[in-house]
Amino acid sequence: MNTEIEVKFLDVNHDDIRKKLESIGAVCEKPMRLMRRVTFDSAEMKARNGWIRVRDEGDKVTLTYKQTDSYNIDGTKELETTVGDFDIAVGILEQGGIAKGSFQESKRESWRLGNVQIELDEWPWLKPYIEIEAPTEAEIYETAEKLGLDMKHAMSGDVMVAYRAEYPHLGVHDTVGNLAEVKFGAPLPEAFQS
């Protein structure tokens, strides 16, 4: 599996980040767009902290197996490929008997600085955050410094690290994957209310 080397910086102002990205020569590759995904898992995948995701990214659809081995900068592993149709990919997994987890929406804007990918992300019920992904940890540290971000505040892991930071009462088993739908405009789920 491929190793993702990435970090998140939570509760950031996307307008400020855009200005900083422009000032350091980053290029906006894809403007803010709605993304949708459906997750799938099984007891075996859960035991490995893994899941399957079908994601419509606006210009392509990806099928991904993700596994969180640790919450370190390089703790997530993945296998990913592009597929032709979101609904057909979801249907194949459903017909294959893989348990459907959750339908989720998010918004993402994609920037590039050399080898580094910077994603401005929005999720329902969550303050905006960014992800910085690069081939090496050194490139992440360099990019964070250029953006005026302190690596002491960087977080690693899936979107639940952001939700748990904003809703600290959530336990390890309280995840958006347990919700049937995660959609903009929907009321805050009861489990997220303190």
Helix (H, G, I), strand (E, B) or coil at 134: coil
In a domain? residue 46: yes
Locate the DSSP E strands across 10-152. Answer: 27-41, 50-56, 61-68, 76-83, 99-113, 116-122, 129-133
In a domain? residue 25: yes
Per the structure, the complete domain to which residue 54 belongs is given by 2-184
In a domain? residue 109: yes
> Residues 5, 135: contact at Cβ < 8 Å?
yes
Q: What angle do CA 159, 4, 176 make, to 5 degrees?
A: 15
> Residues 107, 22: contact at Cβ < 8 Å?
no
Helix (H) or strand (E) holding 7: strand 6-9
- CB count within 10 Å of CB 142 equals 16
In a domain? residue 169: yes
Q: Which of 64, 69, 75 is closest to 47 using CA atoms?
A: 69
Whole-structure pTM value: 0.93
- Domain count of the fold of the chain: 1
In a domain? residue 189: no
**Run means of pLDDT, 10 residues per run, the chain, 194 residues:** 94 98 98 97 90 95 95 92 97 95 97 98 98 97 98 95 95 88 96 86
In a domain? residue 190: no
> Residues 111, 117: contact at Cβ < 8 Å?
yes
In a domain? residue 142: yes
Helix (H, G, I), strand (E, B) or coil at 42: coil
In a domain? residue 172: yes
**pLDDT tens for each residue of 17-62:** 999 999 999 999 999 999 999 999 998 998 998 999 999 999 999 9
Q: What's the CA gap between 140 and 75, in Å, rounded?
A: 15
Give me the CATH number covering residue 179: 2.40.320.10
The pLDDT of residue 194 is 78
